[in-house]
A and B are shown apart, each in its own frame.
Chain A
Amino acid sequence: MSPTPIELRDIAKVVRRDVLTMLLEAGSGHAGGSLSSVDILVALYWGVMRVRPDRPSWEERDRLVLSKAHAAPALYAALARRGYFDVKDLLTFRKIRTKLQGFPDMHKTPGIDASVGSPGQGLSIANGIAMAAKRDGRQYRIYCLMGDGEAHEGQVWEAGMTAAHHKLDNVCAVIDRNRMMGDGGTEDIVALSPLQDKWRTFNWHVVEIDGHNVEQLTAAFSEAASVKGQPTVVIARTVKGKGVPFMENKAEWHDRKLTEDLYEEAMKALA
């Protein structure tokens, strides 16, 4: 049975706490963009995706490509809590000989469907998997979680054209629209708005929702699954650093180092 929205919110809180603990322990990593992604990942892994944590390479599983690879802490915490590996392993994030590399490595971490790192590359990978799935008559779906700043990369739009041209309705892109990137606001650096219109003119089905509302997220993903002949992009309006008041909407928390004091303060906010 699928967890209730209340249960999903509780899981998301646990995952957020894990993310902060990992970042404190590692002494580096990306807080803001990890925290903004947590509800999306929790909705997907607990409420939407068909996966078997005990068989990470089960052929019929739904796949996720983490194109915004800097949100690795959020994905690792979600995978650990979902049962792919021991939660204790999260403390090894970014450390020597860890299976939890700074950016996802499919050969080291159970549950990672594609190695990623360089921005803007995930959607092409998702498209390739989707094409193979269609050729082989397989029913699984492919999710691609992207950052909004990532849309500055030209390859994203190449992949956007490819997915629409080949009618890859088994692809669902999710944009973590937190409106911030490393150096500041997306609209100040190079404006992305109107983002919905951009994807619509690329012949995608577009859904825009509150990316921290798990009910809206699961509804958006089931709408995406019902759309035929067109890929869907879910534009998830989020807050960078969500859940930790001093991090929220602060570009410097893209990758600022967490201190013990700030960690304690953040954990209190997520108690």
Chain B
Amino acid sequence: MAEMGLVDIHHSVVETEATNRGYERGLIELAERGTDIIVMDADLAGSSGTSGFRKRFPDRFLDIGLCEQDMIGTAAGLALAGKCVFVTTHGMLAAGKAWDIIRSTICYGSLNVNICGADAGLSAGGAGGSRQSLEDVAVMRTLPGMTVIVPTDAVEARKATVAAARTPGPVYIRFAAARVPIITTNITPFTIGQAGVYRQGDDASVLTNGVMLYEALKAARLLEDDGLGVRVINCHTIKPLDRAIVNRAAVETGALVTAEEGSTIGGLGGAVAEALAQSSRPTPIKIVGIEDRFGESGEHEQLLSHFGLKSRDIASAVREVLSRKRSLEGRDTEAARDRVQ
């Protein structure tokens, strides 16, 4: 799809990069443009993507030590005094350990603090379940006024970082330490709150973000061989959810799969289900993700397979919702026949 400026992942060699790196480039870009930015880290600069920024702009970098709660609180004070603040630590430490400070100080005060969960999802790989963050999106999403973004690749991560600086109120962005496929380019549109249709199709839709977007595009390709047209939508912003695109996908395709590198409880799948269950068009949905359990050690790629997050898993989820859609359509047809008789 040339107009979206996407990489043709089916016919070219796909490059990979950690989205943490896109975060780093976004921060540097902001500082170069003269934004009054302060970047904070809690002793993870080596992996989180802030070490390059630290080298370029040491005066704008603050390592607070292993004090995640104090980091978020200090960020609140800096924001109150007019600074554009980015705080960085592992997703589970940012969204978990510092949750109450994010809630009671940042969100309650509607402060302009950008909270960056690095090494999130399963991307902490070998570190295993205690350090992987599968519930960060869910717990951040419940906070009033919080914007939640999961960029798909390093290119989009850079754009999300720059856009977050201009977004009023708190923003949570999740980044990955593992190398993930680059599928967007500098010209691919990105606006917070606006989902992107990356592949057209009318039989079913896959709503996804993060590394799962690549898997969803591959799944759509697999299903094309079966004669099925699958719409693939990049829902990089989980909150505010692009309800217009979600509703249109429900009305026009009648069967939805959500796919995310996180818990099936309360994340993108939860957001889509909440939106659709309260719409005029109830639609069969299948939520692909990690089901009510912690992660475990392994290579990122191995973990995606292990937890059923690959293109084949998305493809079978699409087949499942399609069969539910057909049985609903069958019921509708029977009901219509009964009414006529």
Chain A residues with CB under 8 Å of chain B are 65, 105-107, 113-118, 121, 123-133, 135-136, 154-155, 158-159, 161-162
Complex CA distance for A158 and B76, rounded to whole angstroms: 15
Across the interface, do A125 and B110 meet the contact criterion of CB distance under 8 Å?
Answer: no
Give the chain B neighbours of A136 by CB distance below 8 A.
Answer: 81
Give the chain B neighbours of A135 by CB distance below 8 A.
Answer: 83
> Can you name 22 A-B residue pairings with CB atoms under 8 Å?
A105-B108, A106-B109, A114-B105, A115-B105, A115-B108, A115-B109, A117-B104, A121-B104, A121-B105, A124-B76, A124-B77, A125-B73, A127-B70, A128-B81, A130-B77, A131-B77, A132-B77, A135-B83, A155-B69, A155-B70, A159-B70, A162-B65
Complex CA distance for A116 and B103, rounded to whole angstroms: 10
Complex CA distance for A154 and B69, rounded to whole angstroms: 9
Across the interface, do B78 and A158 meet the contact criterion of CB distance under 8 Å?
Answer: no
Closest 3 CB pairs of A and B: A128-B77, A124-B73, A132-B81
Total residues of chain B contacting the partner, CB 8 A: 26
Interface residues of B in 66-95 (CB under 8 A from A): 67, 69-70, 72-83
Across the interface, do A114 and B74 meet the contact criterion of CB distance under 8 Å?
Answer: no
Across the interface, do B108 and A129 meet the contact criterion of CB distance under 8 Å?
Answer: no
Chain B residues with CB under 8 Å of chain A are 62, 64-65, 67, 69-70, 72-83, 100-101, 103-105, 108-110
Give the chain A neighbours of B83 by CB distance below 8 A.
Answer: 132, 135
Complex CA distance for A103 and B65, rounded to whole angstroms: 30
Give the chain B neighbours of A132 by CB distance below 8 A.
Answer: 77-78, 80-83
B98 to chain A, nearest CB (A): 9
Q: Other than A116-B105, A124-B70, A127-B74, give 12 A-B pairs with Cβ distance below 8 A.
A: A65-B77, A105-B108, A116-B104, A118-B104, A124-B69, A126-B77, A132-B77, A132-B83, A136-B81, A155-B70, A159-B67, A159-B73
Give the chain B neighbours of A126 by CB distance below 8 A.
Answer: 77
Chain B residue nearest to A133 in the complex (CB): B81
Give the chain B neighbours of A154 by CB distance below 8 A.
Answer: 69
Interface centre among A107, A117, A124, A126 (most CB of B within 10 A): A124
Chain B residue nearest to A128 in the complex (CB): B77
Give the chain B neighbours of A117 by CB distance below 8 A.
Answer: 104, 108
Across the interface, do B77 and A121 meet the contact criterion of CB distance under 8 Å?
Answer: no
B290 to chain A, nearest CB (A): 30
Complex CA distance for A69 and B12, rounded to whole angstroms: 59
Give the chain B neighbours of A115 by CB distance below 8 A.
Answer: 105, 108-109
Across the interface, do B78 and A118 meet the contact criterion of CB distance under 8 Å?
Answer: no
Across the interface, do A114 and B69 meet the contact criterion of CB distance under 8 Å?
Answer: no
A159 CB contact (under 8 Å) in B74, B78, B109: B74
Interface centre among A106, A117, A123, A128 (most CB of B within 10 A): A128
Across the interface, do B65 and A161 meet the contact criterion of CB distance under 8 Å?
Answer: yes
**Beyond A126-B77, A129-B77, is A158–B67 a contact (Cβ under 8 Å)?**
yes
Across the interface, do A129 and B80 meet the contact criterion of CB distance under 8 Å?
Answer: yes
B83 to chain A, nearest CB (A): 5
Complex CA distance for A187 and B111, rounded to whole angstroms: 36
**Beyond A116-B105, A121-B101, is A131–B78 a contact (Cβ under 8 Å)?**
yes
Give the chain A neighbours of B105 by CB distance below 8 A.
Answer: 114-116, 118, 121, 124-125
Give the chain B neighbours of A131 by CB distance below 8 A.
Answer: 62, 74, 77-78
Across the interface, do A158 and B100 meet the contact criterion of CB distance under 8 Å?
Answer: no
Across the interface, do B100 and A162 meet the contact criterion of CB distance under 8 Å?
Answer: no
Give the chain A neighbours of B69 by CB distance below 8 A.
Answer: 121, 124, 154-155, 158
Across the interface, do B74 and A124 meet the contact criterion of CB distance under 8 Å?
Answer: yes
Across the interface, do A127 and B77 meet the contact criterion of CB distance under 8 Å?
Answer: yes
**Beyond A105-B108, A115-B108, A132-B83, is A125–B65 a contact (Cβ under 8 Å)?**
no
Complex CA distance for A113 and B76, rounded to whole angstroms: 12
B79 CB contact (under 8 Å) in A107, A127, A128: A128
Complex CA distance for A143 and B82, rounded to whole angstroms: 18
Across the interface, do A128 and B67 meet the contact criterion of CB distance under 8 Å?
Answer: no
Across the interface, do B70 and A158 meet the contact criterion of CB distance under 8 Å?
Answer: yes
